[in-house]
A and B are shown apart, each in its own frame.
Chain A
Amino acid sequence: MKMKVIIENAKQEILFQGNPINLPVKEEDIKRVSIEMFRDENPCIIHQSYAVQKLIEGMLSHFGKQSISRVPLSNHLEHVSFLKYDNLDQLFLTLEVK
Protein backbone atom coordinates (compact mmCIF):
# COMPACT_ATOMS: atom_id res chain seq x y z
CA MET A 1 0.00 0.00 0.00
CA LYS A 2 1.63 3.24 -1.13
CA MET A 3 0.62 6.43 0.66
CA LYS A 4 1.24 10.06 -0.12
CA VAL A 5 0.31 12.92 2.16
CA ILE A 6 -0.27 16.50 1.10
CA ILE A 7 -0.62 19.29 3.65
CA GLU A 8 -1.97 22.56 2.31
CA ASN A 9 -3.02 25.87 3.76
CA ALA A 10 -6.20 27.76 2.99
CA LYS A 11 -4.58 29.36 -0.05
CA GLN A 12 -3.89 25.84 -1.40
CA GLU A 13 -0.18 26.36 -0.96
CA ILE A 14 1.52 23.00 -0.42
CA LEU A 15 3.44 22.83 2.85
CA PHE A 16 4.28 19.14 2.65
CA GLN A 17 4.03 16.52 -0.03
CA GLY A 18 5.43 13.02 0.18
CA ASN A 19 5.66 9.79 2.13
CA PRO A 20 3.93 10.23 5.53
CA ILE A 21 7.03 8.93 7.34
CA ASN A 22 8.73 12.20 6.44
CA LEU A 23 6.11 14.47 8.06
CA PRO A 24 7.56 16.99 10.54
CA VAL A 25 6.86 16.07 14.16
CA LYS A 26 7.12 18.16 17.35
CA GLU A 27 9.97 17.24 19.68
CA GLU A 28 7.73 17.28 22.76
CA ASP A 29 5.48 14.67 21.20
CA ILE A 30 8.43 12.50 20.29
CA LYS A 31 9.52 12.67 23.92
CA ARG A 32 5.99 11.96 25.18
CA VAL A 33 5.62 8.85 23.03
CA SER A 34 9.14 7.71 23.86
CA ILE A 35 8.25 7.85 27.53
CA GLU A 36 4.99 5.96 26.88
CA MET A 37 6.65 3.27 24.79
CA PHE A 38 10.13 2.91 26.18
CA ARG A 39 10.01 4.67 29.57
CA ASP A 40 12.79 6.75 28.05
CA GLU A 41 12.84 10.42 29.06
CA ASN A 42 15.99 11.05 27.10
CA PRO A 43 15.28 9.09 23.95
CA CYS A 44 18.12 8.04 21.70
CA ILE A 45 17.72 8.52 17.97
CA ILE A 46 16.44 4.95 17.50
CA HIS A 47 13.67 5.47 20.07
CA GLN A 48 12.91 8.88 18.58
CA SER A 49 12.47 7.49 15.10
CA TYR A 50 10.27 4.71 16.46
CA ALA A 51 8.14 7.27 18.29
CA VAL A 52 7.74 9.33 15.12
CA GLN A 53 6.52 6.30 13.24
CA LYS A 54 4.09 5.45 16.03
CA LEU A 55 2.60 8.95 15.91
CA ILE A 56 2.21 8.91 12.14
CA GLU A 57 0.79 5.40 12.13
CA GLY A 58 -1.82 6.57 14.65
CA MET A 59 -2.80 9.47 12.41
CA LEU A 60 -3.04 7.29 9.31
CA SER A 61 -5.14 4.74 11.17
CA HIS A 62 -7.45 7.55 12.30
CA PHE A 63 -8.04 8.47 8.67
CA GLY A 64 -8.65 4.81 7.84
CA LYS A 65 -5.62 4.60 5.54
CA GLN A 66 -7.94 5.49 2.69
CA SER A 67 -7.73 8.20 0.09
CA ILE A 68 -9.16 11.48 1.33
CA SER A 69 -9.05 14.96 -0.16
CA ARG A 70 -8.53 18.31 1.55
CA VAL A 71 -9.85 17.31 4.93
CA PRO A 72 -9.71 20.28 7.33
CA LEU A 73 -7.41 19.37 10.20
CA SER A 74 -9.46 21.55 12.53
CA ASN A 75 -11.89 18.63 12.84
CA HIS A 76 -9.14 16.17 13.76
CA LEU A 77 -6.78 18.18 15.97
CA GLU A 78 -6.61 15.46 18.60
CA HIS A 79 -5.06 13.10 16.04
CA VAL A 80 -2.72 15.52 14.27
CA SER A 81 -1.59 17.83 17.05
CA PHE A 82 1.91 16.31 16.94
CA LEU A 83 2.53 17.73 13.47
CA LYS A 84 5.03 20.55 13.55
CA TYR A 85 2.91 23.36 12.06
CA ASP A 86 1.89 26.55 13.84
CA ASN A 87 -1.63 26.90 12.52
CA LEU A 88 -2.87 23.33 12.26
CA ASP A 89 -6.52 24.36 12.54
CA GLN A 90 -6.17 26.25 9.25
CA LEU A 91 -4.55 23.44 7.30
CA PHE A 92 -5.94 20.68 5.08
CA LEU A 93 -4.82 17.12 4.59
CA THR A 94 -5.00 14.99 1.48
CA LEU A 95 -4.12 11.31 1.60
CA GLU A 96 -3.53 9.41 -1.61
CA VAL A 97 -3.51 5.65 -1.21
CA LYS A 98 -2.63 3.27 -4.04
Chain B
Amino acid sequence: MKRVYLDHAATTPIDLRVQKKMISVMKHVYGNPSSLHTTGIEARHMIEDARIMMAKTIGAQPKEVYFCSGGTEATNLAIKGLAKAHPTKKEIITTTIEHHATTHAIDDLVKEGYHQKMVSVDSFGFIDLFELEAIISEDTLLVSVIWGNNEIGTIQDIKKISKICQKKGVYLHVDGVQAFGQIDINLSKLHIDLLTLSAHKFYGPKGIGCLYVREGVTIEHLIAGGAQEFGKRAGTENGLGIVSMAYAAYLLKRNIKSYIKHLTTLSIDLYERIREIAPDVILNGPEIGIQRLPGNLNLSFTDVTSNQLIFQLSERGFDVSAGSACTSDSIKPSHVLEAIRVPESHIHGSIRITLGKDSSLADNLLITNALLDTLDTLR
Protein backbone atom coordinates (compact mmCIF):
# COMPACT_ATOMS: atom_id res chain seq x y z
CA MET B 1 0.00 0.00 0.00
CA LYS B 2 1.28 3.44 -0.93
CA ARG B 3 1.64 5.61 2.15
CA VAL B 4 0.92 9.30 2.00
CA TYR B 5 2.67 11.22 4.75
CA LEU B 6 0.64 14.19 5.94
CA ASP B 7 2.18 14.85 9.35
CA HIS B 8 4.94 17.32 8.50
CA ALA B 9 4.33 19.33 11.67
CA ALA B 10 5.40 16.27 13.65
CA THR B 11 8.53 15.78 11.60
CA THR B 12 9.73 15.89 8.01
CA PRO B 13 11.69 13.38 5.95
CA ILE B 14 15.33 14.37 5.42
CA ASP B 15 15.85 16.16 2.11
CA LEU B 16 17.79 13.95 -0.31
CA ARG B 17 20.41 16.64 -0.82
CA VAL B 18 20.87 16.86 2.96
CA GLN B 19 21.17 13.06 3.12
CA LYS B 20 24.01 13.18 0.57
CA LYS B 21 25.75 15.90 2.54
CA MET B 22 25.37 13.87 5.74
CA ILE B 23 26.92 10.79 4.19
CA SER B 24 29.86 12.81 2.94
CA VAL B 25 30.40 14.42 6.35
CA MET B 26 30.12 11.04 8.11
CA LYS B 27 32.78 9.61 5.83
CA HIS B 28 35.24 12.44 5.84
CA VAL B 29 34.84 14.73 8.87
CA TYR B 30 35.13 12.97 12.19
CA GLY B 31 37.49 15.11 14.21
CA ASN B 32 36.67 16.65 17.55
CA PRO B 33 36.35 20.36 16.78
CA SER B 34 38.09 21.20 20.05
CA SER B 35 41.23 19.29 19.02
CA LEU B 36 44.22 21.27 17.88
CA HIS B 37 45.36 18.95 15.10
CA THR B 38 44.43 19.19 11.45
CA THR B 39 41.56 16.68 11.67
CA GLY B 40 40.02 18.60 14.56
CA ILE B 41 40.56 21.97 12.92
CA GLU B 42 38.85 20.67 9.79
CA ALA B 43 35.80 19.78 11.91
CA ARG B 44 35.92 23.20 13.60
CA HIS B 45 35.92 24.93 10.22
CA MET B 46 33.01 22.84 9.04
CA ILE B 47 30.96 23.79 12.11
CA GLU B 48 31.78 27.48 11.96
CA ASP B 49 31.01 27.60 8.24
CA ALA B 50 27.66 25.98 9.04
CA ARG B 51 27.06 28.54 11.78
CA ILE B 52 27.64 31.33 9.26
CA MET B 53 25.23 29.65 6.83
CA MET B 54 22.57 29.18 9.53
CA ALA B 55 22.96 32.77 10.71
CA LYS B 56 22.67 34.18 7.18
CA THR B 57 19.55 32.11 6.62
CA ILE B 58 17.74 33.76 9.53
CA GLY B 59 19.27 37.21 9.23
CA ALA B 60 21.46 36.89 12.31
CA GLN B 61 25.14 37.06 13.17
CA PRO B 62 27.05 33.77 13.59
CA LYS B 63 27.86 34.55 17.23
CA GLU B 64 24.13 34.74 17.93
CA VAL B 65 23.54 31.10 16.92
CA TYR B 66 23.91 28.40 19.61
CA PHE B 67 23.50 24.84 18.41
CA CYS B 68 21.98 22.23 20.72
CA SER B 69 20.02 18.98 20.56
CA GLY B 70 16.72 20.33 19.25
CA GLY B 71 13.75 22.58 19.83
CA THR B 72 12.96 21.37 23.32
CA GLU B 73 16.48 21.94 24.57
CA ALA B 74 16.68 25.31 22.84
CA THR B 75 13.45 26.44 24.49
CA ASN B 76 14.61 25.20 27.90
CA LEU B 77 17.93 26.98 27.40
CA ALA B 78 16.13 30.18 26.43
CA ILE B 79 13.69 30.24 29.33
CA LYS B 80 15.73 28.71 32.13
CA GLY B 81 19.04 30.11 30.89
CA LEU B 82 17.63 33.62 30.83
CA ALA B 83 16.05 33.17 34.26
CA LYS B 84 19.38 32.00 35.72
CA ALA B 85 21.15 34.98 34.25
CA HIS B 86 18.59 37.49 35.56
CA PRO B 87 17.54 36.22 38.99
CA THR B 88 16.01 39.45 40.25
CA LYS B 89 12.89 39.24 38.09
CA LYS B 90 10.55 36.37 38.83
CA GLU B 91 7.64 36.61 36.42
CA ILE B 92 7.21 34.93 33.05
CA ILE B 93 4.37 35.54 30.65
CA THR B 94 3.23 33.05 28.07
CA THR B 95 0.04 32.08 26.26
CA THR B 96 -2.56 29.36 26.60
CA ILE B 97 -1.51 27.69 23.31
CA GLU B 98 2.20 27.06 23.82
CA HIS B 99 4.06 23.85 23.07
CA HIS B 100 4.82 21.64 26.06
CA ALA B 101 8.52 22.46 25.76
CA THR B 102 7.62 25.98 26.83
CA THR B 103 4.87 25.22 29.33
CA HIS B 104 6.82 22.54 31.13
CA ALA B 105 10.05 24.56 31.19
CA ILE B 106 8.07 27.33 32.88
CA ASP B 107 6.44 24.78 35.23
CA ASP B 108 9.96 23.92 36.44
CA LEU B 109 10.62 27.57 37.19
CA VAL B 110 7.28 27.94 38.96
CA LYS B 111 8.39 25.14 41.30
CA GLU B 112 11.44 27.29 42.07
CA GLY B 113 9.29 30.25 43.02
CA TYR B 114 8.66 31.97 39.71
CA HIS B 115 5.26 33.39 38.87
CA GLN B 116 3.57 32.61 35.57
CA LYS B 117 0.93 34.68 33.79
CA MET B 118 -1.00 33.43 30.78
CA VAL B 119 -2.33 35.59 27.97
CA SER B 120 -5.58 34.29 26.53
CA VAL B 121 -6.27 33.86 22.84
CA ASP B 122 -9.35 34.41 20.72
CA SER B 123 -11.21 31.68 18.83
CA PHE B 124 -8.60 31.74 16.07
CA GLY B 125 -5.68 31.46 18.47
CA PHE B 126 -4.52 35.08 18.30
CA ILE B 127 -3.08 36.61 21.44
CA ASP B 128 -4.94 39.50 23.02
CA LEU B 129 -2.26 42.18 22.63
CA PHE B 130 -4.01 44.63 24.95
CA GLU B 131 -4.08 41.98 27.65
CA LEU B 132 -0.42 41.21 27.04
CA GLU B 133 0.57 44.83 27.47
CA ALA B 134 -1.63 45.20 30.53
CA ILE B 135 -0.25 42.23 32.45
CA ILE B 136 3.45 42.95 31.99
CA SER B 137 4.69 44.16 35.37
CA GLU B 138 7.87 45.45 36.97
CA ASP B 139 8.69 41.89 37.92
CA THR B 140 8.26 40.46 34.38
CA LEU B 141 11.43 39.02 32.97
CA LEU B 142 10.25 37.34 29.80
CA VAL B 143 7.39 36.93 27.36
CA SER B 144 7.47 33.58 25.54
CA VAL B 145 5.26 33.11 22.49
CA ILE B 146 4.90 30.46 19.83
CA TRP B 147 5.23 32.11 16.41
CA GLY B 148 3.35 29.56 14.31
CA ASN B 149 1.19 27.27 16.39
CA ASN B 150 2.02 23.59 15.94
CA GLU B 151 -1.61 22.45 16.20
CA ILE B 152 -3.80 25.08 14.61
CA GLY B 153 -1.27 27.04 12.55
CA THR B 154 -2.01 30.48 13.99
CA ILE B 155 0.76 32.95 13.13
CA GLN B 156 1.16 35.57 15.83
CA ASP B 157 1.99 39.17 15.03
CA ILE B 158 5.53 38.98 16.38
CA LYS B 159 6.33 42.52 15.25
CA LYS B 160 3.59 43.96 17.46
CA ILE B 161 4.42 41.63 20.35
CA SER B 162 8.05 42.63 20.03
CA LYS B 163 7.17 46.33 20.17
CA ILE B 164 5.17 45.78 23.35
CA CYS B 165 8.07 43.89 24.93
CA GLN B 166 10.55 46.59 23.94
CA LYS B 167 8.28 49.33 25.26
CA LYS B 168 7.91 47.49 28.57
CA GLY B 169 11.58 46.52 28.77
CA VAL B 170 11.08 42.75 28.92
CA TYR B 171 12.75 39.97 26.98
CA LEU B 172 10.95 38.13 24.18
CA HIS B 173 11.46 34.44 23.43
CA VAL B 174 9.81 33.11 20.29
CA ASP B 175 9.26 29.42 19.60
CA GLY B 176 9.90 29.36 15.87
CA VAL B 177 10.00 25.60 15.48
CA GLN B 178 6.99 25.39 13.17
CA ALA B 179 7.45 28.85 11.71
CA PHE B 180 10.80 28.35 10.02
CA GLY B 181 10.26 27.42 6.40
CA GLN B 182 6.62 28.47 6.43
CA ILE B 183 7.32 32.10 7.32
CA ASP B 184 10.11 34.10 5.71
CA ILE B 185 12.08 34.84 8.88
CA ASN B 186 14.51 37.75 8.86
CA LEU B 187 15.77 38.59 12.34
CA SER B 188 17.58 41.69 11.14
CA LYS B 189 14.15 43.27 10.73
CA LEU B 190 12.64 42.04 13.99
CA HIS B 191 13.57 42.64 17.60
CA ILE B 192 13.45 39.12 19.00
CA ASP B 193 15.73 38.30 21.92
CA LEU B 194 15.64 34.51 21.72
CA LEU B 195 14.39 32.24 18.95
CA THR B 196 14.07 28.45 19.00
CA LEU B 197 14.56 26.38 15.82
CA SER B 198 14.60 22.62 15.16
CA ALA B 199 16.09 20.97 12.07
CA HIS B 200 13.76 18.01 11.71
CA LYS B 201 10.82 20.30 11.09
CA PHE B 202 12.40 21.56 7.87
CA TYR B 203 13.82 18.44 6.21
CA GLY B 204 16.92 18.18 8.39
CA PRO B 205 17.78 15.40 10.83
CA LYS B 206 16.46 14.90 14.36
CA GLY B 207 18.70 15.62 17.33
CA ILE B 208 19.83 19.06 16.26
CA GLY B 209 18.39 22.51 16.79
CA CYS B 210 19.56 25.94 17.68
CA LEU B 211 18.80 28.89 19.86
CA TYR B 212 19.26 32.37 18.47
CA VAL B 213 20.31 34.75 21.22
CA ARG B 214 20.39 38.38 20.19
CA GLU B 215 23.74 40.06 20.77
CA GLY B 216 23.78 41.65 24.22
CA VAL B 217 21.27 39.24 25.75
CA THR B 218 22.86 37.13 28.46
CA ILE B 219 21.87 33.57 29.32
CA GLU B 220 23.41 30.99 31.62
CA HIS B 221 24.26 27.47 30.55
CA LEU B 222 22.09 24.53 31.65
CA ILE B 223 24.62 21.78 30.90
CA ALA B 224 27.97 22.08 32.62
CA GLY B 225 31.18 20.93 30.99
CA GLY B 226 33.40 22.29 28.27
CA ALA B 227 33.27 25.72 26.69
CA GLN B 228 31.50 24.69 23.50
CA GLU B 229 28.87 26.96 21.94
CA PHE B 230 30.36 30.09 23.50
CA GLY B 231 30.24 28.46 26.92
CA LYS B 232 26.47 28.13 26.84
CA ARG B 233 26.05 24.49 25.84
CA ALA B 234 28.73 22.09 26.95
CA GLY B 235 29.48 18.86 25.12
CA THR B 236 31.27 17.96 21.93
CA GLU B 237 29.39 19.54 19.06
CA ASN B 238 27.15 17.43 16.85
CA GLY B 239 29.05 18.44 13.73
CA LEU B 240 27.05 16.18 11.45
CA GLY B 241 23.79 17.58 12.77
CA ILE B 242 24.98 21.17 12.66
CA VAL B 243 26.10 20.98 9.03
CA SER B 244 22.89 19.18 8.06
CA MET B 245 20.68 21.69 9.86
CA ALA B 246 22.35 24.67 8.26
CA TYR B 247 22.20 23.08 4.82
CA ALA B 248 18.54 22.10 5.20
CA ALA B 249 17.73 25.64 6.34
CA TYR B 250 19.63 27.13 3.41
CA LEU B 251 17.87 24.88 0.89
CA LEU B 252 14.42 25.70 2.20
CA LYS B 253 15.08 29.41 2.56
CA ARG B 254 16.34 29.58 -1.02
CA ASN B 255 12.92 28.53 -2.32
CA ILE B 256 10.72 29.77 0.48
CA LYS B 257 8.32 31.81 -1.62
CA SER B 258 7.52 28.94 -3.96
CA TYR B 259 7.33 26.53 -0.99
CA ILE B 260 4.77 28.71 0.77
CA LYS B 261 2.80 29.06 -2.47
CA HIS B 262 2.90 25.29 -2.98
CA LEU B 263 1.59 24.61 0.53
CA THR B 264 -1.09 27.29 0.31
CA THR B 265 -2.39 26.00 -3.01
CA LEU B 266 -2.60 22.47 -1.64
CA SER B 267 -4.25 23.55 1.61
CA ILE B 268 -6.95 25.53 -0.17
CA ASP B 269 -7.63 22.64 -2.55
CA LEU B 270 -7.76 20.04 0.21
CA TYR B 271 -9.96 22.08 2.49
CA GLU B 272 -12.42 22.75 -0.33
CA ARG B 273 -12.54 19.06 -1.19
CA ILE B 274 -13.15 18.07 2.43
CA ARG B 275 -15.86 20.68 2.87
CA GLU B 276 -17.67 19.16 -0.09
CA ILE B 277 -17.71 15.67 1.38
CA ALA B 278 -18.17 16.71 5.02
CA PRO B 279 -20.17 19.94 5.34
CA ASP B 280 -19.98 19.65 9.15
CA VAL B 281 -16.21 20.15 9.12
CA ILE B 282 -14.72 23.04 11.09
CA LEU B 283 -11.32 24.54 10.28
CA ASN B 284 -9.70 25.20 13.65
CA GLY B 285 -7.55 28.32 13.72
CA PRO B 286 -7.44 31.21 11.26
CA GLU B 287 -8.65 30.98 7.68
CA ILE B 288 -6.08 29.87 5.13
CA GLY B 289 -3.92 32.86 4.31
CA ILE B 290 -1.10 34.98 5.65
CA GLN B 291 -2.07 34.51 9.30
CA ARG B 292 -1.96 30.71 9.17
CA LEU B 293 0.95 28.33 8.59
CA PRO B 294 0.36 27.45 4.94
CA GLY B 295 0.69 23.67 5.30
CA ASN B 296 -1.56 23.28 8.34
CA LEU B 297 -5.16 22.09 8.29
CA ASN B 298 -6.63 21.33 11.69
CA LEU B 299 -10.09 19.98 11.12
CA SER B 300 -12.91 18.88 13.40
CA PHE B 301 -15.80 16.58 12.59
CA THR B 302 -18.92 15.56 14.47
CA ASP B 303 -19.83 12.04 15.64
CA VAL B 304 -16.30 10.60 15.38
CA THR B 305 -13.23 10.69 17.58
CA SER B 306 -9.74 11.79 16.64
CA ASN B 307 -8.29 8.37 17.36
CA GLN B 308 -10.84 6.63 15.18
CA LEU B 309 -10.07 8.98 12.31
CA ILE B 310 -6.33 8.57 12.68
CA PHE B 311 -6.59 4.79 12.84
CA GLN B 312 -8.94 4.46 9.88
CA LEU B 313 -6.93 6.86 7.75
CA SER B 314 -3.72 5.06 8.69
CA GLU B 315 -5.28 1.74 7.66
CA ARG B 316 -6.02 3.35 4.30
CA GLY B 317 -2.43 4.59 3.92
CA PHE B 318 -2.60 8.16 5.21
CA ASP B 319 -0.54 9.47 8.11
CA VAL B 320 -2.25 12.31 9.95
CA SER B 321 -2.16 13.44 13.54
CA ALA B 322 -4.27 14.78 16.39
CA GLY B 323 -3.76 17.00 19.34
CA SER B 324 -5.30 14.77 21.94
CA ALA B 325 -3.77 14.08 25.30
CA CYS B 326 -4.47 11.17 27.58
CA THR B 327 -5.54 11.40 31.17
CA SER B 328 -5.95 8.35 33.37
CA ASP B 329 -9.20 7.15 31.89
CA SER B 330 -10.27 9.45 29.12
CA ILE B 331 -8.91 11.09 26.00
CA LYS B 332 -8.81 14.79 26.58
CA PRO B 333 -8.80 17.36 23.78
CA SER B 334 -5.56 19.28 23.52
CA HIS B 335 -5.07 22.43 25.57
CA VAL B 336 -4.84 24.39 22.31
CA LEU B 337 -8.25 23.27 21.04
CA GLU B 338 -9.70 23.97 24.46
CA ALA B 339 -8.10 27.41 24.52
CA ILE B 340 -9.74 28.42 21.24
CA ARG B 341 -13.03 26.95 22.45
CA VAL B 342 -13.77 24.45 19.68
CA PRO B 343 -17.45 23.49 20.12
CA GLU B 344 -18.15 20.40 22.24
CA SER B 345 -19.85 18.81 19.23
CA HIS B 346 -16.57 18.87 17.29
CA ILE B 347 -13.66 19.00 19.74
CA HIS B 348 -13.28 15.22 20.14
CA GLY B 349 -13.17 14.63 16.38
CA SER B 350 -10.16 16.74 15.45
CA ILE B 351 -7.30 15.82 13.17
CA ARG B 352 -4.28 17.74 11.98
CA ILE B 353 -3.18 17.38 8.38
CA THR B 354 0.15 19.04 7.67
CA LEU B 355 1.39 19.15 4.11
CA GLY B 356 4.95 19.15 2.86
CA LYS B 357 7.08 19.60 -0.20
CA ASP B 358 6.23 16.18 -1.65
CA SER B 359 2.48 16.58 -1.08
CA SER B 360 0.42 16.88 -4.24
CA LEU B 361 -3.02 17.61 -5.63
CA ALA B 362 -3.26 13.94 -6.57
CA ASP B 363 -2.72 12.98 -2.93
CA ASN B 364 -5.41 15.49 -1.92
CA LEU B 365 -7.89 13.60 -4.05
CA LEU B 366 -6.82 10.29 -2.51
CA ILE B 367 -7.11 11.43 1.09
CA THR B 368 -10.46 13.06 0.43
CA ASN B 369 -11.79 9.76 -0.85
CA ALA B 370 -10.28 7.93 2.12
CA LEU B 371 -11.80 10.43 4.52
CA LEU B 372 -15.20 10.06 2.91
CA ASP B 373 -14.98 6.29 3.30
CA THR B 374 -13.70 6.66 6.87
CA LEU B 375 -16.50 8.97 7.95
CA ASP B 376 -19.01 6.66 6.36
CA THR B 377 -17.53 3.70 8.24
CA LEU B 378 -17.45 5.42 11.59
CA ARG B 379 -20.79 7.18 11.60
The residues of A with any CB-CB pair to B shorter than 8 Å are: 1-3, 19, 21, 44-47, 49-50, 53-54, 57
Q: How distant is the Cα of A2 from the Cα of B376 in the complex, in angstroms?
A: 6
Q: Is the CB of B311 within 8 A of A50?
A: yes
Q: Among B311, B315, B329, B376, which residue has its beta carbon within 8 angstroms of that of A1?
A: B376
Q: Main SS of the interface on chain A? A: helix
Q: Is the C-beta of B272 less than 8 angstroms from some C-beta in chain A?
A: no
Closest to A98 in B: B376
Query: B377, A44: Cβ atoms under 8 Å?
Result: no
**A residues in contact with B377, CB < 8 Å:** 1-3
Task: Tell me the complex Cα distance, A46–B315, Å.
Answer: 17
Which chain A positions have C-beta within 8 A of B373?
1
User: Are B326 and A21 touching (Cβ within 8 A)?
Assistant: no
Residue of B nearest to A20 (CB): B377
Inter-chain contacts of B305 with A (CB < 8 A): 49
A/B interface sample: 9 pairs, CB < 8 A? A1-B373, A2-B377, A45-B326, A46-B326, A47-B326, A49-B305, A50-B310, A50-B311, A53-B311
- Report whether A21 and B378 are in contact in the complex, using a CB–CB cutoff of 8 Å: yes
A44 vs chain B, min Cβ distance (A): 4
Distance A13 CA – B378 CA, assembled complex (angstroms): 25
Determine whether the beta carbon of A46 is less than 8 Å from that of B331.
yes
CA distance A1 to B378 in the complex (A): 9
Among B293-351, those with CB < 8 Å from A are 305, 307-308, 310-312, 315, 324, 326-331
Please, which residue of chain B has its CB at the minimum distance from the CB of A65?
Answer: B377
For the complex of A and B, 9 pairs with smallest distance between CB atoms: A44-B326, A53-B311, A45-B326, A46-B326, A49-B307, A45-B331, A1-B377, A2-B376, A46-B331
Whether A45 lies near B378 (C-beta < 8 A) is: no
Q: Which residue of A lies closest to B327 (CB)?
A: A45
Number of A-B contacts (CB under 8 A): 36
Q: How far is the CA of A73 from the CA of B49 in the complex (A)?
A: 67
Instruction: Report whether A54 and B378 are in contact in the complex, using a CB–CB cutoff of 8 Å.
Output: no
- In the complex, A49→B377 CA distance in Å? 17
**Residues of A contacting B307 in the complex (Cβ-Cβ under 8 angstroms):** 46, 49-50, 53
Total interface residues on B, using CB and 8 Å?
A: 19
Q: For residue A2, which residues in chain B have a CB less than 8 angstroms away from its CB?
A: 376-377, 379
Question: Contact between B326 and A53 (Cβ–Cβ < 8 Å)?
Answer: no
Given A49-B308, A49-B331, output 13 extra A-B contacts at Cβ < 8 Å.
A1-B377, A2-B376, A3-B377, A21-B378, A45-B327, A45-B328, A45-B329, A46-B326, A49-B305, A50-B307, A53-B307, A53-B308, A57-B311
By a CB distance below 8 angstroms, the chain B residues around A57 are 311, 315
Chain B contacts for A21, CB-based, 8 A: 308, 378
In the assembled complex, the Cα of A3 lies from the Cα of B376 at a distance in Å of: 9
**CA A3 – CA B331 in complex, angstroms?**
24
1/0 per position for B352-379, CB-CB distance to A under 8 A? 0000000000000000000001001111
**Cα distance, A3 to B312, chains bound together (Å):** 13
The contact of B378 among A19, A46, A49, by CB within 8 Å, is A19
Q: Which residues of B contact A45 (CB under 8 A)?
A: 326-331
List B contacts of A3 (CB < 8 A): 377
A47 to B324, CA, bound (A): 12
Which residue of chain B has its CB nearest to the CB of A56? B311
- Min Cβ gap A31→B in Å is 15
Alpha-carbon gap, A54 to B308, bound state (A): 10
* Residues in B neighbouring A53, C-beta threshold 8 A: 307-308, 311-312
**Complex interface: chain A residues within 8 A of B308 (CB):** 21, 49, 53
Minimal Cβ-Cβ distance residue in B for A53: B311
Residues of A within 8 A of B326 (CB): 44-47
Give Cα A60 to B100, complex, Å.
Answer: 38
Roughly how many angstroms separate A1 CA and B329 CA in the complex, as a whole number? 30
In the bound complex, residues from chain B placing their C-beta under 8 Å from that of A49 are: 305, 307-308, 331
- Closest-by-CB residue of B relative to A57 is B315
CA distance A53 to B306 in the complex (A): 12
**Cα–Cα, bound, A16→B226 (Å):** 65
User: A46, B376: Cβ atoms under 8 Å?
Assistant: no
A54, B312: Cα distance in complex, Å = 9
Q: Which residues of A contact B324 (CB under 8 A)?
A: 46
Bound complex: CA A57 to CA B326 (Å): 23
Q: How far is the CA of A46 from the CA of B376 in the complex (A)?
A: 22
